[in-house]
Each structure stands twice: as C-alpha cells, then as structure tokens.
C-alpha cells in the first residue's frame, strides 16, 4: 500500500444563486502520493499561490475567471480546481480532492471522476 498525503487549505468566498449572495468558509482537501517535507512545502506554496489566493474573499462567479459561466456547486468547483492543481503540483498526482462548506457538507472527487 502506497502512502498518501492529504493537505487542507481554507478560504472564504461567495457566489450568487437565484438573486441571493451566499457566502461560505470552505476547506479544500488535496490528497496526493506521499512526498517528502520539502516537496510538500513546495506543493502547498504552489496551491496557495495558483489557486487559493485567486479564490479568497472573492465572488466566485464574478471575480474568478476560470469559474465564469460555471454553475457554482461543490462538484463543479472540484472539477475546475482539479484542472488547475494538476498543473500546479506536477509531477505529483492528485489522488482525490474534497471540499467542505462551513463544516456542514463534504464532497469528494476521486482520480477516475474528474473528466
């Protein structure tokens, strides 16, 4: 059995739905093949810079270019994030992504489901 690493990232964001603005505190979990401490640090920095900073305190459907014209829901967010993070953490591979809103929901996307 291979060892894996799950790193968690937090951000707050909002989006509009049916004329209402909804805001949430998100926790994004990124599970990859196990990496050493230095590779983990570099990977976390790349995810923070390449994704989390683009989302933090933003209106997702207005201010985030790669989410324009995307229906904002947990599964669609994970699919969009996968595409970006795949490039950010190469050569490591994403095994799964998970997202939680305000600690009340949990949606997970595994390697074979991100098409």
pLDDT in tens, 6-31: 999 999 999 998 889 999 999 999 99
CATH number for the domain harbouring residue 8: 3.30.479.10
Q: What is the pLDDT of residue 112?
A: 61
Domain assignment of residue 109, given as a range: 4-113
C-alpha to C-alpha distance for 13 and 59, rounded to whole angstroms? 6
Strands 58-59 and 4-17: parallel
Tell which wins on pLDDT, 34 or 42.
42
Torsion over CA: 18, 68, 62, 109 (sign) = positive
The total of structural domains in the chain comes to: 1
Phi and psi at residue 114, to the nearest 5°: -90, 10
Confidence check: pLDDT of 115 > 60: no
Q: What is the pLDDT of residues 45-103, one digit of tens each?
A: 999 999 999 999 999 999 999 999 999 999 999 999 999 988 888 888 899 999 999 99
């Amino acid at each position: 059995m291979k060892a894996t690493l799950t790193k968690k990232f937090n951000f707050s964001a909002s989006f509009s739905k049916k004329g209402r603005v909804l805001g949430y505190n998100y926790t994004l979990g990124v599970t990859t093949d196990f990496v050493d401490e230095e590779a983990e640090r570099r990977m976390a920095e790349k995810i923070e810079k390449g994704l989390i900073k683009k989302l933090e305190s933003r209106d997702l459907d207005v201010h985030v270019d790669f989410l324009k014209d995307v229906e904002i829901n947990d599964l669609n967010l994970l699919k969009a994030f996968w595409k970006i993070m795949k490039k950010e953490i190469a050569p490591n591979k994403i095994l799964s992504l998970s997202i939680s809103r305000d600690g009340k929901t949990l949606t997970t996307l595994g390697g074979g489901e991100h098409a």
